[in-house]
Amino acid sequence: MKKHTSAGRRTAWFFAYLFMALCVAVAVFPIIWVILSSFKSNQEILSNGLSWPTQWSFDGYRQALEMAPIFQYFLNSLIVTVLSTALNVLALSMAGYVFAKKQFRGKNLLFSILSLSMVIPTTALLSPIYVTITKLGLYDTKAALVLVYAALSMPISLMILRSTFAGVPKELEEAAYIDGAGFLRTFFSVMMPCARGGIASASVLAFLEGWNEFTFALLLTSSGNVRTLPLSLSYFTSQFSFNYTAMFAAITIAVIPSIIVFTVFSEQVNASIVAGSVKG
Amino acid sequence: MRKKERKWIVLFLLPVCLLFVVFFAVPLGMVFVQSLFDYRLLPNKFEFIGFGNYAKLFLRDPKFLPVLKNTLLWILIHCIGHVALGSALAFVLYKKPRGWKFVRVVYMIPNIISQSAIAMIFVNMYNPQFGAVNQFLKAIGLEKLMHNWLFDMSTAFPAITMTWFLFAGYTTTLVLAQCLSTDETVIEAARVDGASGFQIDRLVMFPLVKEMIGTTVIMAATYMLQMFSMIYITTGGGPGSATTNLPLYLYSNMKSNNYGYASTIGVVIIIVGFLTMRIIQRIFGMNKEEVA
């Protein structure tokens, strides 16, 4: 960044770049290795696993899609995640608005109680949540995952959205009321648009949570027609047994969309992660 | 008018309160209650045994202490090594060397794709026949170091630790954001005063981002306390219980139809989580947290 003034500084920069290069290598090598392997034949994977493919073949991808309904799992994940994100963000926007702008008895107490959800490790609750979902008759349904994922992202969305609505100027709300807008109209057509930055952050984080969640998917579903993409990955070893090419292809199909979407929207994702770490 | 508004307030709070009650409050109560019962499903059994589960867990279960030790060790390694790695990268990147934005994006990729995908990638990386790790050792003539990494008693724990240890993208992103949000004139003033790059990092920047590092340490502890999928997919907790942690042990007890005992482990997870958080807040001087 600055001109090199001394040998010491130059060495420091050398190590800085070396460190950066190592971090990049660590992050991408495993993924690139998987992608390259997906184009090799089984024989090649076993004989020289580190080399470039001798000829690029898409057979693995054809076989992977024949052997496992990956698009079905992808679709399941998409449905569950979109619905849980929408439910989470709508419910928490409503609550965030009321907590930020309205006065009512017991407000602080209720907020402290809801904040407790931040400090409960959800893996501790596996057994009761399993029992609850089963008793509600929701075992092995997409609805179970939609509700659980909406709940898992509740603490972080609550913090983000309350502080977002708190930052919307009071005058806008008052002006809407003076213009004769009711509670609902004020919320949906004045407050929500003003809070879109926070809504975007909360949506991104809720989406990531649902898209990647594994534990509850494993616990609460069993059949193939509700299986989500992360869960389906754990079946690959047995599903593809000795067809390594197909397994590598299947893993590639599963991760590439996330990588592309993230690379395109990385600024927004970064901003959301930062917003999520700043606690109310 | 005011009465009408109160109706809307209640209606707006209702969905969140329902979610909270069904998925946090009631399960939290149930964890504590279930832990006092011998609770099994199919055939249903719900028999009060007081602190029987706790006595068994702490006094008569030979698996529990190793499992607790694994969990605590992983939390410790993650809070120290992993956060140090991510913070070190942030301290390099905030000086905006060429390509810093690229590094920030690429280093985050393993954290954006799902844990189960990373786990599957490492299942293959560690494969004894064709995995990249053994192939690499063979290529450089160190065949005697080749292992069945995930299933060898002596290597399973470190091998599995490496599947998450190096991917500190969240820490880097958060600490870097904090570094970049500090006033550049502060840094400039220190430089004018003759401070070296390292002195600026240590004496000016570090205190400014210390609290954010504390936040990432809490996140690291929470992450490790809840770690499940990567272990479940790679080793399943084995060999023996060499790589079992508390969530995995809880799950295996549920699978063997011992829901009361599973909830006892759940209570231990809650207590460990609470204590870890308190200790970290104490160390980083984060007393004014949202935790009441």
Long-range residue pairs from B50-54, CB within 8 A, at least 24 positions apart, any chain: B53/B260, B53/B261, B53/B263, B53/B264, B54/B264
Of B27, B96, B290, the CB nearest to A132: B27
What pLDDT is recorded for position A241? 80
Q: Is there a contact between A251 and B117 if contact means CB atoms under 8 Å apart?
A: yes
Q: How far apart are CA A191 and CA A164, in angstroms?
A: 10
Of A24, A112, A131, the CB nearest to B103: A24
- Stretch A196-220: mean pLDDT: 95
What pLDDT is recorded for position B290? 46
Type of residue at B88: A
* Residue given tokens 């975007």 in the structure block: A200
Closest to A121 measured CA to CA, from B162, B176, B240, B24:
B24
Q: How far apart are CA B153 and CA A219, in angstroms?
A: 28
- Cis before B158 (ω within 30): no
Range of lowest pLDDT (A25-29, A149-153, A169-173, B222-226): A169-173
Per residue in B22-37, is it b (16+ CB within 10 Å) or e — as a string?
Answer: bbbbbbbebbeebbbb
Q: How far apart are CA B60 and CA A254, in angstroms?
A: 43
Closest to B209 measured CA to CA, from B183, B244, B228:
B183
Number of domains, chain B: 1
Chain-wide mean pLDDT for chain A?
Answer: 91
Residue A8 tokens read as 């010491």
Residue B57 tokens read as 């867990």
- Stretch A136-140: mean pLDDT: 96
H or E stretch at B40: strand B37-40
Q: Which residue has the higher pLDDT, A129 or A6?
A: A129
What pLDDT is recorded for position A280? 37
Per residue in A131-154, is it b (16+ CB within 10 Å) or e — as a string?
Answer: bbbeeeebeebbebbbbbbbbbbb
Q: Is there a contact between A20 and B89 if contact means CB atoms under 8 Å apart?
A: yes
Q: Where are the domains of chain A?
A: 7-61, 68-234
Cα separations in angstroms, A266 against A74, A116, A252, B105: 21, 31, 20, 7
What pLDDT is recorded for position A8? 79
What pLDDT is recorded for position B239? 92
Domain annotation covers residue B178: yes
> Could you tell me where the DSSP H helices lie in B115-205?
115-125, 132-139, 156-165, 169-180, 184-192, 197-199
Average pLDDT of adjacent 10-residue blocks, chain B of 292 residues = 82 96 96 94 88 94 96 97 97 93 96 94 93 91 90 94 95 94 87 85 90 93 95 93 96 94 96 95 74 37
B70, B243 contact by CB (below 8 A)? yes
Chain B residue numbers touching A33 (CB-CB < 8 A): 121, 125, 132
Residue B32 tokens read as 């504590």
Domain annotation covers residue B238: yes
What pLDDT is recorded for position A237? 84
Separate counts of helices (H) and strands (E) for chain B: 16, 2
Q: Residue A191: pLDDT band by 50, 70, 90 thresholds?
A: very high
B283, B80 contact by CB (below 8 A)? no
H or E stretch at B48: strand B45-48
Q: How far apart are CA A67 and CA A232, in angstroms?
A: 12
What pLDDT is recorded for position A121? 93
What pLDDT is recorded for position B291? 42
Question: Could you tell me if A211 lies within 8 Å of chain B, comparing CB atoms?
Answer: yes
Say which DSSP state B11 is in. Answer: H
What pLDDT is recorded for position A279? 53
- Give phi and psi for A272, each to the nearest 5: -65, -40
Of A24, A125, A233, the CB nearest to B266: A125
Residue B156 burial (CB count, 10 A): 24
Q: Is there a contact between A119 and B12 if contact means CB atoms under 8 Å apart?
A: no
Q: How far apart are CA A31 and CA A253, in angstroms?
A: 12
What pLDDT is recorded for position B2? 66
pLDDT digits 0-9 by tens, B97-134: 999 999 999 999 999 999 999 999 999 999 998 999 99
Residue A31 pLDDT > 70: yes
H or E stretch at B45: strand B45-48
CB-side neighbour CA atoms (13 Å) of A202: 34
pLDDT digits 0-9 by tens, A58-79: 999 999 998 889 999 999 999 9
CATH number, domain with residue B247: 1.10.3720.10
Q: What is the residue range of B153's domain?
A: 62-259
Residue A1 pLDDT > 50: no
Q: How far apart are CA A85 and CA A82, in angstroms?
A: 5
Q: Residue A118: pLDDT band by 50, 70, 90 thresholds?
A: confident
Q: Is there a contact between A254 and B250 if contact means CB atoms under 8 Å apart?
A: no
Q: Is there a contact between A119 and B106 if contact means CB atoms under 8 Å apart?
A: no
CATH 1.10.3720.10 is held by the domain A68-234: yes
Chain A residues 101-140 with a CB less than 8 Å from chain B:
102, 104, 110, 112-132
